[in-house]
Chains A and B, each alone.
Chain A
Amino acid sequence: MRALIVDDSKAMRLILGRALKEVGFQVTEAGDGRGALARLNQGEDVDLMLVDWNMPVMNGYELVCAVRANALLDNVRIMMVTDETCLSQLEQALAAGANEYLMKPFTKEALVEKLALLGMN
């Protein structure tokens, strides 16, 4: 399976990338929402997106809305991975079409357990 990690922190992309590779994902990265959309628009085939909320240029919430506005990307599963821990933002992300929500800080087990909820372990 292929995952696109979207986070402006290189360290976080590295952590998430390592964890996903360990469970068998092929991983690509983008540093903000616009970069991620560009990859998708170029036809990059993605099963899962891990999306940070606060990023420059285009934030994670805007990215989720943009992806969900494109019917061709309906099958892409989206997990927000963010330090936003308010209920209102969690609800906002789910309403916009995110499938899961993981709050930072998190453990590798928690990430894998969330993947299981998406049927992707």
Chain B
Amino acid sequence: MNPGDFDYVRNFVRDQAAIVLEPGKEYLVESRLQTLVRKEKLGSLDELISRLRADPKNGLHRKVLDAMTTNETLFFRDVHPFEALRKSILPELMARRAKERQLRFWCGAASTGQEPYSVLMLIAEHFPELLGWDFTFVATDLCSEVLARARSGRFNQLEVNRGLPASLLAKYFVPQGAEWEFREALRRRVEFRELNLVKAWPWLPGLDLVFLRNVMIYFDVQAKKAILANVRRLLRPGGYLLLGGAETTFNVDDAFERVAFDKTSCYRVKPA
């Protein structure tokens, strides 16, 4: 891939999604875009880039953005944050909101749905009464293709092998040919929507729990600051932010404080 083409893709994903691609990541861009070249039945990577350059408004740009996002995910990723939800965070939030019986969750990098569905299974197992509350769970992602998969609730064998306790697979999934489908009654409790974290967030309500796990690592500092400032505005008093294991608010937005749980930590806005 020539340096000019790399710069073009790099600037495009930075401007559109604040994804940082350092020099040296040419191999990543090439490998992701070669897949798109094959899918779109184009002759070569050069042809793809030429088309992108020729018309900034064609749907191909959207597909490049989708191709350049990382969708690695699994059920109950890292285990410990889910333990903290079960043992501490959900009981605390439910006690806090017991009077209005209302909780609002948002998962900001939902990918193919494993994370929101993990949270729903945890709720169904340990806090089923919450499903009778005014409970909203919005799950968003930048990539429309993965959202379509998330909405379908269908997972292949390799996906259900990853992180999902066998007892929950048996209880909450229905075999559909070679795939497993997350049961509809729970599936419809999540509303999947497309959202670019570095653009406007027009319709998110006040939130009690925000999952932004393993997505901030892709952004530059400016984008991280803007995202955390938005989260801060949306979090209701006592609400929590969950980040990935390698992510933190420190030196990005010091209005947040770290709250340590058993083997993990979460964040909330410091009291005024």
Contacts and interface: CB of A to CB of B under 8 A. Distances in A.
Contact of A113 (B162, B166, B169): B162
Contact of B167 (A87, A94, A113): A94
Contacts of B170: 87, 90-91, 94
Contacts of B162: 107, 109-110, 113
B158 interface: yes
B161 interface: yes
Given A86-B175, A100-B166, A117 B76 contact: yes
Residue in B74, B160, B166, B167 with the greatest tally of chain A CB atoms within 10 Å: B166
A116 B79 CA distance: 7
Interface in A105-121: 105-107, 109-110, 113-114, 116-117
Interface string B141-163: 00000000000000001101111
Interface in A75-101: 85-87, 90-91, 93-94, 98, 100-101
Contacts, number: 42
Nearest to B178: A85
Contacts of B175: 86-87
Given A94-B170, A113-B74, A107 B158 contact: yes
A50 interface: no
A102 interface: yes
A112 to B, nearest CB: 10
A86 B166 CA distance: 12
Contacts of A98: 166
Interface-central residue, A98, A101, A106, by most chain B CB under 10 Å: A101
A48 to B, nearest CB: 15
B165 interface: yes
A110 to B, nearest CB: 4
B163 A90 contact: no
Most chain B C-beta atoms within 10 Å of own C-beta, residue among A87, A93, A109, A113? A113
User: How big is chain B's contact interface, by range?
Assistant: 10 to 19
Interface in B146-201: 157-158, 160-163, 165-167, 169-170, 175
Contacts of A117: 76, 79, 163, 165
Nearest to A100: B166
Given A87-B175, A91-B170, A117-B79, A103 B163 contact: no
B210 to A, nearest CB: 24
A106 B166 contact: no
A103 B74 contact: no
Contacts of A114: 161
Given A87-B175, A117-B79, A106 B167 contact: no
B81 to A, nearest CB: 12
Contacts of A94: 166-167, 170
Contacts of A101: 166, 169
B165 A90 contact: no
A102 B163 CA distance: 10
Given A116-B79, A117-B79, A85 B166 contact: no
Contacts of A85: 157
A102 B161 contact: yes
Contacts of B167: 94
Nearest first, the 8 closest Cβ-Cβ pairs linking A and B are: A101-B166, A110-B161, A113-B163, A110-B162, A87-B175, A106-B161, A91-B170, A116-B79
18 contacts: A86-B175, A87-B170, A91-B170, A94-B166, A94-B170, A98-B166, A100-B166, A101-B169, A102-B161, A103-B161, A105-B158, A107-B161, A109-B162, A110-B161, A110-B162, A114-B161, A117-B76, A117-B165
